[in-house]
Each structure stands twice: as C-alpha cells, then as structure tokens.
Structure 1
Amino acid sequence: MLTADGVKTACVTGGNGYIASALVKLLLEKGYAVKATVRNPDDTEKNSHLKELQALGPLEILRADLDQEGSFDEAVAGCDYAFLVAAPVNLTSENPEKDQIEPSVGGTLNVMRSCAKAGTVRRVVLTSAASSVCIRPLEGDGHVLDEESWSDLEWVTAEKPPSWGYVVSKVLSEKEALRLAQEHGISLVIACPVLTVGASPVPKVYTSVPASLSMLSGDEAALGMLKGIEKTFGGVPIVDLDDLCRAEVFLAETETTASGRYICSSFTTTIVEIARFLARKYPQYSVNVGNDSSGELLEKPRVCLSSAKLVEEGFEFRYKTLDEIYQDVVEYGKALGILPY
C-alpha cells in the first residue's frame, strides 16, 4: 500500500539481525518506508545499529515475537512487501524438535497469517537456507542441484548430521509456507542463500563471517564450521550479503514472473582454494596452505548449487570472485575486531 506521498512500504522481520539489518538499509536507500520487527525494541545493545539507520529514511521499529500468534499484524498492516528473515537458530539444542523445528515452522506460519490478514501485501519473500536443498547422500562428483532438489529428511533424521534440526526446520518451514500461500492466495518467493558473508550494519556477528575469516584469524572453532559446511554441502558455496539483499528486493519487485524457490549462490569453491587465495592475497597473515593429510578436504567442489533460475529472471551478481568477496568481508572483519589489521 503506497503511503500518502507514493512511497512503498516493506516489513522486515528480525530487523536487527545480520541479514535483516542489511536488507533494511538497502530498502531505505531505495526509498522505501520500512517497518522492522524485533523481540524487544527497548534492548539498546541489540537495536542501536538499527536505530542509526533511521537517519536514512522512514524506519519504524516494532515489537513482535515469532511465538505469539498475531504479534506481526501491526507490522505487516499496510505493507506492499513482507520480508520474512527472523528465524530461531538453535544449533546445539539437545531437543531440536522442540527448540528449533517447531518454533521455526510455527513462527513462519504466524507471520504468513498476518500477511494474509493484512490484505495489502503484494509479495512475501521468505529467507530460507540452502541447507533445505542439498543435505542428502550424493555419491561421486559433478552434481548440479537446483530448486527442484530438497534435502532428504528421512536420511537427515536417521543419520543426524551436524545441525540436522536446522535442516529439517528449513525444509518444513518452506513447505508449510508454500501450502499456506496457496491456501490464502499469497504471492510467495523463497530465497535459499548459501554461506553468506559481507558487511552489515550489525556490530557483532556469529557463524558465517567468522567462519569465512577463520584462516586469517586463527579461530579453530570457526574453521571447524567451514569444514562442516564443505563436508555436508560437497563444497563451499558463497554469496555476498549485498548480493543476497539485492536479490531479495529484486524477487519482491519482479512480481509478474518470479515464483517459488530461488537458490542464491555466486559460486562454489573449497577450503583448499580459499586458503591458496588468502595466502597470496594476504601474506601478512601466514595462512597455512599445507597439504591436508587427513584427506577430509576437497581439491574441487563435488556439488554445485545453481543460481541459473535467479539469473534467468534478470538478476546479476556483483561479487563473483574470491577477490571481490574477501575484499568486502576482510574490511568488515577489521571493523568488528575479528581481524587485528
């Protein structure tokens, strides 16, 4: 619903998060009025960077909770677009069903119902994850997966790979969102981003950025996460945060043709390739490019996640090489204090 002065309005859930706050910034820069939801608007530590974005344009910060039915009604009322980014992440829970899967699916449906109720939302963009696409047994090399591929939940729940509850939560959230969208006549697109790195307004980040910088920072736990991605994904698929946010806005605005799921991946690499690149580009960090005696690391990716559908729709990635990706994230890592210099 256009505002009185013809400005389009967008709601972004989980507005103070890593992806969401970058999305809020982009929308404001594009001239949108934005309504961002957070659990507790009074939490200065978690929201100060979001409040700073109010200097860019009309940004309202509203209280909403994924667990509470109807708590997103006010946030999506009158909006043209709704970007569903908020999602629980509880990777170490001993009860993934209760702590990860149920809250994810329930939260997604809560926001979707609010969108149906609003009656003004022209398109919903759900941020999922590529782990809904590719976690399945794949023998050999050369696999190319697209949006028709789903992670094998039977195999995932039997084998219980790392963060298996997260994988299940993403698949079920997508499927339930698609079902409810069809039921209520909601136009829905789903973005499935891979390992997302790059600069965000957020002053503190977890997981993807420290993982991508782990060979420079020496953070063994973060490197362990990167190794886990390579093992379960059959490579290290990467997208820059700026490209992901631009893709989500593109998918919202391309109303006539865009539909269903979209993998968002600039390219797929390996830890070995990243290490060699970093050693050349940043010699001051003494990156270890020694041979992997354990045999765990890949020389080349076994699996490629294809973004052909997104590109055919007319989207163009800006960050297409390790050089472009790392220039962005290294500067961000320095600003966050993850890297010393």
Structure 2
Amino acid sequence: MAAAAGEERKKTACVTGGNGYIASLLIKMLLEKGYVVKTMDKEANSHLEDLKKLGTLEVFRADLGEEGSYDEGVAGCDYDQITTVYRKELIELGVQGTLNVMRSCVKAGTVKRVILTSSTAAVSSRPLEGDGHVLDEESFSDVEYLSAKRTGLWAYSVSKVLLEKAASRFAAEHGISLVTLCPSVTVGEAPDRQAELNVLRGIERASGSVPLVHVRDVCRDEIFAAEAEAAAGRYICNGLDTTILEISRFLAGKYPQYDVNTDISGDLLAKPVALLPSTKLEKEGFEFEFRTLEHIYDDMVEYGKALGILPN
C-alpha cells in the first residue's frame, strides 16, 4: 500500500486462519488500531466481510498444505501472525503449514517479525508429581511421554511442540525475527454453547490446573509482540490458574440464576498443583486486563445475554 505525500504509511499485518476464534478478534483489533490487514483461509466467511467496515481488510484464499499458497497474502506485510487451526489427525500438516507460511514471509522480504500462536499445551503436558510446580518458557511438554500414553488431548500438545520447534529452526536458518506466544485456555467474547467439562478434565489432568486467559488479552498480546522492538523468543500468556471445582463454585455463587452444577464427581484438584505465570511477558511491559474469574465471567455472561444465549 503506497502512502500519499505527507501521509505516514500504515503498517500492514497478515493474520492467517482468519476464520479462527482468536484470529477473528485480532483482525478486528488491528483494524481499530489503524492497521491494514490481510488475512486468508481455505473458506470464505461472512464475518470477514462485516469487518471490512472497520478499515482496509483484504481476504485471500489459501491452504496450509499448499506451499506458495500464502505468497500473495504475505507480500508487502510488516508482520505475520500465524494462528494455525488444529486438526487432530493432521499433526504433520500443522508443522508443514506453519513452515509454508514462513517460506512465504521469506519470499516477501518485507516481514519484520513473525508471531506464532502456540499454546500452553506445549509447555505443561508432562509428568508432574506432587505440587508446587512453577513452569516457565524453558519448559516443553514431553513428546515421548505423550506419544507413548496417547490419552486425552495428547495429539494437540504434541502438534504444538513440534510446530514450535520446526518454526524456531526455520527462523534461525533464515534470519527471521520470531516471537512465539503460548496462550492458555482462551475464553471470553462468546460463551461456548457446548459442554466442555470433559475437555477441562483433560486439561486439568495434563497440566495440573485449568489455566485461563481472556481472548482480548491474547489479541492485545499479539499486537504487543509485533510492536515491542525488544520482544523475542517464547512467552507464556496466562491470566490465572484455577481448577474445575473452583470455577463451578464461583459460578454457582455468582450466578445462582443459572443453576450451575457443583456436584461434580471424579478425580479433581482442590487447588492448582502447577502454575504458569506470565512473568517474562509482564516484565517487558504487558499488562493483563482480565486477572480474576469475576472479570472473565462477567464479560462472558454479558456477551451471552447480548447474543440471547443466556437469559437476562
């Protein structure tokens, strides 16, 4: 995009997987900040057309499995934010798709930084005995252990570790500035319409807690990682560590009108046995907006009411 005389050129960001949960809100926030945004996905979606009302948004068709598919979308961009869509049966495609996007960044020659969205599933899925564990950016989920056990959400964690390490090697070989964000269980904006108790059980069992972060904080972190010159390496993005029991009791007390079930059986934690602090991120100047269950769920409930999912 050429700037007119005397007009500062707008920064251009590419967001892959534009139909995704995090990506769609990230596009909205980038447009509101004045960015030119390019996005791409395998299929068209009406919400992307609606977002064009907020600013300059270009939508391209692309396929993670096709090398060169992202060339047109990435061309001329300053930042590339890779928010990959996970599919259980396609661990290898997740790795190759990420590298395909990064190859397009190399070809473009304009991309100053690539921001890869991974997950704390790539940090905390490992054997944990006892309590008091504090994990940081040096921690990686145990691929050999997960591949041998093959229980719960093992494939998701494995895929995130493998694509992170492949992206890191590629970035080092090609001189790319790569920042990797590891958000925890991302919630907010739209209450999930389907029961997620089994998913939360799997997360709590694998991670030693239920780590939560609001989607708006994740998107703010994506922009922070792009704009902060000193940003480098890997960052945990986690608002708070909790448990299934703590969430259910909080919801029952705060919103008695919704008859939240607190009679939950099974092997559940009374308190988190592992913590995922965002110390590195906060030391570099990032501030979370949502740090308590009350802040997170008040926002979700109000949004649910606005959508008509929850009664007023």
TM bin, normalised by shorter chain, reads over 0.9
Q: CA deviation at 1:229?
A: 1.4
Alignment root-mean-square deviation, CA: 1.6
**One of 90, 99, 114 as aligned partner of 1:124:** 114
Structure 1 counterpart of 2:142: 152
Identity across the alignment (%): 60
Residue 18, structure 1, aligned to residue 26, structure 2: no
Q: CA deviation at 1:337?
A: 5.2
Q: Structure 2 vs 1, CA of residues 104 and 196 (structure 1 numbering), >3 Å: closer, same or farther?
A: same
Q: How does 1:83-94 map to 2 (within 5 A)?
A: 83-90=81-88
The unaligned stretches of length 5 or more in structure 2 are none
Q: Deviations over 1:137-183 (max 9, x none)?
A: 01001100000000011101111121222111110100010000011
Partner Cα separation in structure 2 for residue 286 and residue 87 of structure 1: 34
Structure 1 counterpart of 2:92: 102
Partner Cα separation in structure 2 for residue 64 and residue 166 of structure 1: 23
Q: Structure 2 vs 1, CA of residues 79 and 228 (structure 1 numbering), >3 Å: closer, same or farther?
A: same
TM-score normalised to structure 1 length: 0.87
Q: State the SS of the aligned residue for 2:196.
A: helix
Q: CA deviation at 1:271?
A: 1.1
8 Å CA contact 1:189–1:251 kept in 2: the answer is yes
Q: Deviations over 1:170-223 (max 9, x none)?
A: 1010001000001110000001010001116xxxxxxxx52xxxxxx7x5x421
Q: CA deviation at 1:272?
A: 1.1
The unaligned stretches of length 5 or more in structure 1 are 42-46, 91-98, 201-208, 211-216
Q: Deviations over 1:36-78 (max 9, x none)?
A: 111123xxxxx11111011110001111110110010011100
Q: CA deviation at 1:86?
A: 2.5
TM-score normalised to structure 2 length: 0.95
Structure 1 counterpart of 2:165: 175
Name the count of aligned residue pairs: 309
Q: How does 1:300-319 map to 2 (within 5 A)?
A: 300-319=271-290
Q: How does 1:33-72 map to 2 (within 5 A)?
A: 33-41=36-44, 47-72=45-70
8 Å CA contact 1:2–1:8 kept in 2: the answer is no
Q: State the SS of the aligned residue for 2:156.
A: helix
8 Å CA contact 2:32–2:54 kept in 1: the answer is yes
Q: How does 1:1-341 map to 2 (within 5 A)?
A: 3-4=3-4, 5=7, 6-41=9-44, 47-90=45-88, 99-199=89-189, 209-210=191-192, 221-255=195-229, 257-290=230-263, 294=266, 296-336=267-307, 338-341=309-312
Partner Cα separation in structure 1 for residue 227 and residue 291 of structure 2: 23
Partner Cα separation in structure 2 for residue 125 and residue 2 of structure 1: 24
8 Å CA contact 2:125–2:142 kept in 1: the answer is yes
Q: Deviations over 1:247-290 (max 9, x none)?
A: 110011112x2111111001101111111111111010122334
Q: State the SS of the aligned residue for 1:34.
A: strand
Partner Cα separation in structure 2 for residue 340 and residue 103 of structure 1: 41
Q: CA deviation at 1:335?
A: 4.5
Q: State the SS of the aligned residue for 2:90.
A: helix
Partner Cα separation in structure 2 for residue 222 and residue 26 of structure 1: 27
Partner Cα separation in structure 1 for residue 3 and residue 291 of structure 2: 37
Partner Cα separation in structure 2 for residue 2 and residue 231 of structure 1: 52
- Counterpart AA for 2:221: A
Structure 2 counterpart of 1:95: none
- Counterpart AA for 2:261: N
Q: CA deviation at 1:128?
A: 0.6
